[in-house]
Chain A
Amino acid sequence: MAHALSMIVNGREVNAHVEARTLLVDFLRDHLGLTGTHVGCDTSQCGACVVQINGLSVKACTVLAMQADGADVTTIEGLAEGETLHPMQQAFQDHHGLQCGFCTPGMVMSALDIVRRHPDPSEAQIRDGLKGNFCRCTGYGSIVEAVQAGAKAMR
């Protein structure tokens, strides 16, 4: 059965009809074409699907689209302003916080949540805040450096 759904995605109002079982990540990718949010494990382990709902980072593979009805959702596509990358995105580029890039959208969205809670995060706070995000390339060292630099650029 289709349910009427309305939410703000990256500042724009979106209206749609979805099945109740539609996951938020599938709604973003398949209905809205916002494929920057990735599906890695689909079991709430890897964090490739992290987006923000009302400013809080969540795993979009473990949220129903209907649970975000009426909410304000931000995805990786909502960060840059035109051609100018968000400071956190720029920091990931500058500090080589990625290799293959598959985990990067989720890493950046989780990094913003770390900065929300800790504007000047310690390495321990960053590593704790990234516990729900897996990278299988970098070994995390350069990601931690990128988050530190991104946080500094955002202050």
Chain B
Amino acid sequence: MYDFAYHRPCSLKDALALLAESPEARPLAGGQTLLPVMKQRLAAPSALVDLSGVPELRGIDLSPQAVTIGALTTHAEIAESAEVTQAIPALSAMAAKIGDQQVRHRGTLGGSIANNDPAADYPAALLGLDAVVVTDRREIAAADFFIDILETALQPGELVVAVRFPIPRTAAYARMDQPASRFALVGVFVGVMQDGGVRVAVTGAGPCVFRQGEMETSLTHSFRPEALAGLDIAAEGLNSDLHGSPEYRAHLIGVLARRAVVACL
């Protein structure tokens, strides 16, 4: 990879100042995506601002209504967190399946959602739980955060500080592994909110995480796997690659949604 300037600030204020003064600088969280991308010379930032020394980005806070997880929290920390497992076991179980143990020791929640890989797992949890992304300057609903493939609502120099997940009545995530990349081929997150509303979020199938409205309507009426029978999932616009056609991915959405509903019951 090309060389770059390296900074490791000790406060959020200093990190933001470093990013603001150099438009070509990039924040570095766990580096499990950014460093491989830089090795391939698909990215060549002028500077990296290593966030690992910023205390404001850490910590897991449990309240009666929500779990708030700092952006620099690693997948392994979320997987092993007693607070997260108590409040939203579907979320800690999701984190335990990301990549492999070595990647989970480095990769972070904030880094993953800021990257918004179309097959990443967390975006489905954020959208399926109506989570809120807290940045250094505002709060962004998950529905407004994930814009398109590798694109989010973050402005240049804006940092994710934490994600606030409302505690649902129940939730589950089902995914079809793509064992070579260890990303999801397709993943479906089903969340039943405290007000009874049902949310179905799909990752891996399209260019960006999305909600499946017809399934949500059917499941709100009757939260049983049978309620999904007969729903025709359109393949149009879904991803196509050597691992699966759009039609196959559409089929998987139905299969995985049923599995997630069964896991919720």
Across-interface contacts of B2 in A (CB, < 8 A): 21
State the total of A-B contacts with C-beta under 8 angstroms.
73
Docked CA distance A42–B197 (Å)? 45
CB distance from A114 to the nearest CB of B (A): 8
CB distance from A54 to the nearest CB of B (A): 10
Q: Give me 11 A-to-B residue pairs in the complex whose CB atoms sit less than 8 angstroms apart, sorted by A's number.
A: A21-B4, A21-B38, A42-B39, A47-B100, A50-B102, A57-B101, A63-B31, A63-B106, A64-B50, A67-B31, A132-B102
Across-interface contacts of A66 in B (CB, < 8 A): 6, 8, 50
Across-interface contacts of B99 in A (CB, < 8 A): 132
Interface size of A in residues (CB-CB distance below 8 Å) = 28
- Taking a contact as CB atoms under 8 Å apart, the answer to whether A62 and B32 are in contact is yes
- Taking a contact as CB atoms under 8 Å apart, the answer to whether B103 and A20 are in contact is no
Of B6, B39, B50, B106, the residue contacting A58 (CB under 8 A) is B106
Docked CA distance A128–B99 (Å)? 11
- Taking a contact as CB atoms under 8 Å apart, the answer to whether A1 and B31 are in contact is no
CB closest chain-B residue, reference A1? B5
Q: How does the 8 Å CB contact mask read for B89-108 relative to A, with 1 for contact and 0 for none?
A: 00000000001111101100
Residues of A110-140 whose CB lies within 8 A of B: 110, 113-114, 128-129, 131-132
- B142 at the A/B interface (Cβ < 8 Å)? no
- Taking a contact as CB atoms under 8 Å apart, the answer to whether A67 and B76 are in contact is no
Docked CA distance A58–B32 (Å)? 10
- A84 at the A/B interface (Cβ < 8 Å)? no
Residues of A25-69 whose CB lies within 8 A of B: 42-44, 47, 50, 53, 56-59, 62-64, 66-67, 69
